[in-house]
Amino acid sequence: MYKIRAEHETDIPKIKEVNVLAFGQENEARLIEGIRNSDAFIPELSLVAVTEDGDVIGHILFSRISIKTAGGSEPTLALAPMAVKPDWQNKGIGSALVQEGLQRCVEAGFDAVIVLGHSKFYPRFGFVRASTKGIHPPFEVPDEAFMVYEAMPGILDGIEGTVQYPEAFSAV
């Protein structure tokens, strides 16, 4: 059994461990650290899945980004990264983190979330190809992997442009 909650300061080393184990490298852990030390970080949108004995087994992070449009800049969120410890994968924890995270994003007043992720995983939560909304990545990625979630269908109508990530994303 586990519960999902916002991260505590004492979770930080455990979050790093989850990401290193899940991804087999430190890039995502460095990304989290960079975001955590920037104004893109939203503490209540860094969520952990924690067992009854306090073991952090999963983590998801939503942070501030923007979409550069012809008329200016539209604030939104990025979902990156999301990780589950290997021994706990394929047990619904990642799905629970995404669902809870999206709900908390909406409750915090955010209308949309961008993700670069698995095209077979994220659509089940309402993510669609960002290109269908006129939203593009700032770098070369497969079209099917760059997706957007709208809290209300059509909320992004008329907002076309290129996503701008904070400096932390460039460092990895």
List beta partners, residue 83: 59
Give me the numbers of helices (H) and strands (E) for the chain, helices first please.
4, 9
CB 67 within 8 A of CB 159: yes
- In the DSSP assignment, the letter for residue 145 is G
Domain of residue 32, CATH code: 3.40.630.30
In which element (H, E) is residue 14 found?
helix 12-23
Helix (H, G, I), strand (E, B) or coil at 75: strand
Report the phi/psi class of residue 134: left, alpha or beta, with left for phi > 0 and alpha for psi in -120 to 50: left
Domain span holding position 77: 2-170
Please give the chain's pLDDT, 172 residues, in tens: 999 999 999 999 999 999 999 999 999 999 999 999 999 999 999 999 999 999 999 999 999 999 999 999 999 999 999 999 999 999 999 999 999 999 999 999 999 999 999 999 999 999 999 999 999 999 999 999 999 999 999 999 999 999 999 999 987 7
Rounded to the nearest 5°, which phi and psi values hold at 32? -60, -45
The separation between CA 71 and the C-alpha centre of its own chain, rounded to angstroms, equals 26
Tally of structural domains, the chain: 1
First to last CA, the chain: 33
